[in-house]
Amino acid sequence: MTETDTVTALREQLCALHAELPRNGLVVWTAGNVSARIPDSDMFLIKPSGLSFDDLTPESMVLCRLDGTVVPGSLGSEFSPSSDTASHAYVLRHRPDVGGVVHTHSPYATAWAARHEPIPCVITGMADEFGGEIPVGRFTTIGDESIGEIIVETLAGHRSRAVLLANHGVFTVGRDARDAVKAAVMCEDAARTVHLARQLGEPVPIEPHHVDALFDRYQNVYGQRARGDH
Please state the closest distance from residue 227 (CB atom) to a second copy, in A.
7
Question: According to the binding rule CB under 8 A, does residue 182 interact with a second copy?
Answer: yes
Q: Residues 24-27: contacts with CB within 8 Å, 24+ apart? A: 24/184, 24/185, 24/188, 25/106, 25/107, 25/188, 26/104, 26/106, 26/184, 26/185, 26/188, 27/53, 27/104, 27/105, 27/106
Binding flags for a second copy, 126-165, as an x/- string (CB under 8 A): --x----------x-xxx----------------------
Local structure of 6: helix, strand or coil? helix
From 128, 179, 189, 218, active-site residue: 128
Residues within window 206-225 making contact with a second copy, judged by CB under 8 A: 206, 210, 213-214, 217-218, 221-225
- The residue within the footprint of a second copy, chosen from 117, 153, 156, 175 (CB under 8 A), is 117
Nearest approach, Cβ of residue 16 and a second copy (Å): 11
Cβ within 8 Å of residue 113, ≥6 positions away = 136, 164, 165, 166, 167, 168, 169, 170
State yes or no: is 222 an active-site residue. yes
Residues recognised as catalytic: 128, 222
Binding residues (CB under 8 A) for a second copy: these are: 24, 28-31, 48-51, 78-80, 83, 105, 107-108, 110-117, 122-125, 128, 139, 141-143, 166-169, 182, 185-186, 189, 192-204, 206, 210, 213-214, 217-218, 221-227, 230
